[in-house]
Amino acid sequence: MHGAFRGIVDVTGGLPECVVRARSTAAMVVDMQVAGAARGYEFGRVSAASAVREEMEYFFQRLECTVIPNLMRLQAACRSVGIPVVHVRLMNSAGDCADANWRYKELGLLVPPGSEGSEFVDGLGPEDGEIVLNKTTSNVFASTNADQVLRVLGIDRLIMGGIVTNNCIESCARGATDLGYQVILLEDGCAAWTANGHQHAMAHLDGNFCTVKTLDTVVSEVQGAYDRDGGDSKAGSPA
């Protein structure tokens, strides 16, 4: 039985082809913030106390060696052609995090507004004027006005990366898909606490809720989209 199926993609025959377009695509970077993506901070400490302690080294190495550099390249490529970069992070509104749902309280996934944990990791913060969405749920569409913002911008497809692959990334991708967005997920632009968790999520998602691509492919599509569709006039020529 194992190997006979690849998930619902076998049934659907896959999603319609989704490539980057200059004027209807946004990059969405999820939860690349100190609380979850920097060594020694809150979620790292939570996980260090659990059964996956020995695997956290895998997670941080993948972030430092692969995910963060790749998302920096993604952001630079998108900015150079005027594709909006949308920054999503977990941050409560209430100082005591009373607005967290029961599960987030139970798991200790609490980020007080303005706290160190809410800051974006070095190199991935928003540039002046870029959109920042503060969520309190796994799926950004469940606790922010992301849908309204993206529709106003004319966005119908998202390039998505960040953490954690099988948690917030998967929830955001599933949420976006159900709302009618087409999602390009960066295989080498996201990470889970374990390699298995990452691979399972990719298997769940690819061809089903989104199209999985590598950063190199997406960056060349971003540049190709500028050449084909034309970019934002204020953005200058692609790097």
CB of 188 to another protein, least distance (A): 20
Specify the residue, 19 or 203, whose C-beta has the smaller distance to another protein.
203
Specify the residue, 91 or 219, whose C-beta has the smaller distance to another protein.
91
Burial readout 2-19 (b: 16 or more C-beta within 10 A, e: otherwise): eeeeeeebeeeeebeebb
Question: Count of residues for the chain?
Answer: 239
Specify the residue, 105 or 228, whose C-beta has the smaller distance to another protein.
105
Specify the residue, 85 or 172, whose C-beta has the smaller distance to another protein.
172
CB of 105 to another protein, least distance (A): 10
Asked whether 222 and 85 are in contact (CB, 8 A), the reply is: no
CB of 62 to another protein, least distance (A): 17
Instruction: Single out the residue of 129, 31, 113, 43 nearest to residue 79, CA to CA.
Output: 129
Specify the residue, 13 or 40, whose C-beta has the smaller distance to another protein.
13
What secondary structure letter does DSSP report for 84? -
CB of 200 to another protein, least distance (A): 4
CB of 1 to another protein, least distance (A): 6
Specify the residue, 122 or 178, whose C-beta has the smaller distance to another protein.
178
Question: Could you give the CA distance from residue 142 to residue 23 in angstroms, rounded to a whole number?
Answer: 25
Question: Could you give the CA distance from residue 193 to residue 7 in angstroms, rounded to a whole number?
Answer: 22
**Structure token pair of residue 91:** 């941050």
Q: Give one word for 207, left, alpha or beta, with left for phi > 0 and alpha for psi -120 to 50.
A: left
- In three-state secondary structure terms, 74 is helix
Sign of the Cα torsion 166, 204, 150, 145 reads: negative
Q: Provide CB contacts within 8 A for 99, sequence distance 6+.
A: 92, 93, 136
CB of 122 to another protein, least distance (A): 28
Specify the residue, 209 or 226, whose C-beta has the smaller distance to another protein.
209
CB of 207 to another protein, least distance (A): 9
Q: Interface with another protein by CB under 8 A: which residues? A: 1-2, 4-8, 10-16, 51-52, 101-103, 106, 137-139, 142-143, 166-167, 170-171, 174-175, 177-180, 182, 194, 196, 199-200, 203-204, 208-210
